[in-house]
């Protein structure tokens, strides 16, 4: 099996910023509540005419430029999203077309906020097995489009964005050292968009009842998240033959600062090893981890050989983590 790593990264968020004070104007909420309960201060929201494929395209383009790889050389594009442009065709096909990735296979993958971890794990297999050389993995969301902006228990939490990574073969000992993925469908109703699928097709009644919007039992998801983040991080480290002291950088899913703090406490790692950007973006679901990874790299927080743990949880319920020994040097094996 070939070793697989990230040889290019990029991200994109829409320009428009909505602060907590902005939200106070039309929802019964307070900046103080949002900051103290979640850590979120603002979020970026896509304009009405900007679909998720645009965010994914922009992020993907930046990642390919960073890797100095032409779109025509991409073998596969995977888009992780729960807010696709359409139920079908897949957003990944639309992104491939925009990029001019003419030979790329393309499909979407749905694992909620764990989507990016699931997508890199999936994309890596194609390279590890020798099937493909270059895979573009994108996590993108426009959650603003499926929120009920009158429901203060959900609408203050989320934001829009996209993050992307180019996967290629890397030197032995580098790249992804382990993955840990899981699911528990018995918790599916805790975080869902109930209408619009085959179980509850769209109708004027479903629209009237707001069933096309995101519904969440926040407290239950919170409890699950606190438990799973620490557990799965320890498991994925063990799989890689490492211990928590080996972590140079932890990139957790950015849902709530209290969830991240609980995981950090459990892992007993120094808070300065933890990447946090939820204050600026809110929860961008599948985009949260790749945007944080890109920002950490741009800020000079990542060096060759660093051990990075990325860990997430989300609808499904799903969870996932990976250990990455950082290098951006791909092996050209034409």
Place of tokens 């791909």: 330
The one segment of 31-39, 130-138, 201-209, 268-276 that binds ligand UT7 by CB under 6 A: 31-39
Cβ-proximal residues to 258 (8 Å cutoff; 6+ apart), any chain:
37, 38, 39, 222
Q: Does the protein bind ligand UT7 through residue 148 (CB under 6 A)?
A: no
Q: Does the protein bind ligand UT7 through residue 59 (CB under 6 A)?
A: no
Return the structure tokens found at 217: 């039992």
The one segment of 48-56, 58-66, 148-156, 267-275 that binds ligand UT7 by CB under 6 A: 148-156
**Please, what is the minimum distance in Å from the beta carbon of residue 328 to ligand UT7?**
28
Build a one-symbol-per-residue string for 61-80: x at contacts with ligand UT7 by CB under 6 A, - elsewhere.
Answer: --------------------
Give the containing element (helix H, strand E) for 249: strand 249-252
The residue within the footprint of ligand UT7, chosen from 314, 316, 320, 330 (CB under 6 A), is 314
The one segment of 4-12, 34-42, 54-62, 291-299 that binds ligand UT7 by CB under 6 A: 34-42
How many residues touch ligand UT7 (CB under 6 A)? 22
- For residue 283, indicate whether it is catalytic: yes
Q: Where are the alpha helices (H) located in the chain, listed in sequence order?
A: 20-24, 31-38, 52-67, 91-99, 115-128, 152-155, 204-208, 218-239, 257-267, 278-281, 288-298
Give the integer Cα–Cα distance in Å for 101 and 58. 14
| Residue list 222-241, contact with ligand UT7 (CB under 6 A) | 222, 225
- For residue 212, indicate whether it is catalytic: no
Q: Does the protein bind ligand UT7 through residue 190 (CB under 6 A)?
A: no
CA quadruple 76, 77, 80, 81: dihedral sign: negative
Question: Among 83, 162, 174, 87, which Cα is nearest to 124's?
Answer: 174
Return the structure tokens found at 321: 């983590």
The residue within the footprint of ligand UT7, chosen from 20, 81, 178, 283 (CB under 6 A), is 283
Give the integer Cα–Cα distance in Å for 264 and 212. 35
Give the integer Cα–Cα distance in Å for 124 and 167. 7
- For residue 253, indicate whether it is catalytic: yes
Residue 143 phi/psi, 5-degree rounding, is -65, -25
The residue within the footprint of ligand UT7, chosen from 19, 22, 24, 33 (CB under 6 A), is 33
Q: Confirm if 89 and 167 have CB atoms less than 8 A apart.
A: no
Q: Does the protein bind ligand UT7 through residue 316 (CB under 6 A)?
A: no
Residues marked as catalytic: 113, 253, 283
Residues forming contacts to ligand UT7 in the complex (CB under 6 A) are 29-30, 33-34, 37-38, 113, 152-153, 156, 191, 216, 218-219, 221-222, 225, 253, 255-256, 283, 314
């Amino acid at each position: 099996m070939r070793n697989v790593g990230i040889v290019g990264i990029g991200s994109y968020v829409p320009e428009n910023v909505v602060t907590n004070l902005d939200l106070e104007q039309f929802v019964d909420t307070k900046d103080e509540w949002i900051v103290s309960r979640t850590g979120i201060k603002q979020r970026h929201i896509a304009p009405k005419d900007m679909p998720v494929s645009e965010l994914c395209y922009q992020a993907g383009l930046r990642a390919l430029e960073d890797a100095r790889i032409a779109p025509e050389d991409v073998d596969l594009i995977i888009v992780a999203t729960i807010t696709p442009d359409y139920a079908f065709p897949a957003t990944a096909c639309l992104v491939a077309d925009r990029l001019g990735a003419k030979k790329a296979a393309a499909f979407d993958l749905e694992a909620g906020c764990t989507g990016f971890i699931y997508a890199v794990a999936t994309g890596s297999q194609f390279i590890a097995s020798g099937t493909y050389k270059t895979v573009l993995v994108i996590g993108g969301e426009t959650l603003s489009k499926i929120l009920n902006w009158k429901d203060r228990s959900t609408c203050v939490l989320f934001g829009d964005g996209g993050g992307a990574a180019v996967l290629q073969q890397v030197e032995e000992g580098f790249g992804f050292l382990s993955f840990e993925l899981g699911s528990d469908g018995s918790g599916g109703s805790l975080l869902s968009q109930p209408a619009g699928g085959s179980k509850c097709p769209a109708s004027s009644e479903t629209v009237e009842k707001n069933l096309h919007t995101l519904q969440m039992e926040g407290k239950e998801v919170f409890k699950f998240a606190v438990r799973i983040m620490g557990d799965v991080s320890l498991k994925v480290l063990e799989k890689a033959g490492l211990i928590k002291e080996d972590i140079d950088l932890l990139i957790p899913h950015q849902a709530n600062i209290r969830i991240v703090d609980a995981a950090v406490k459990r892992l007993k790692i120094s808070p300065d090893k933890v990447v946090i950007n939820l204050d600026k973006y809110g929860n961008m679901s599948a985009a949260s981890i790749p945007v944080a990874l890109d920002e950490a790299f741009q800020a000079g927080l990542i060096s060759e050989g660093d051990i990075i743990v990325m860990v997430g949880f989300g609808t499904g319920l799903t969870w996932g983590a990976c250990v990455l020994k950082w290098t951006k040097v791909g092996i050209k094996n034409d």
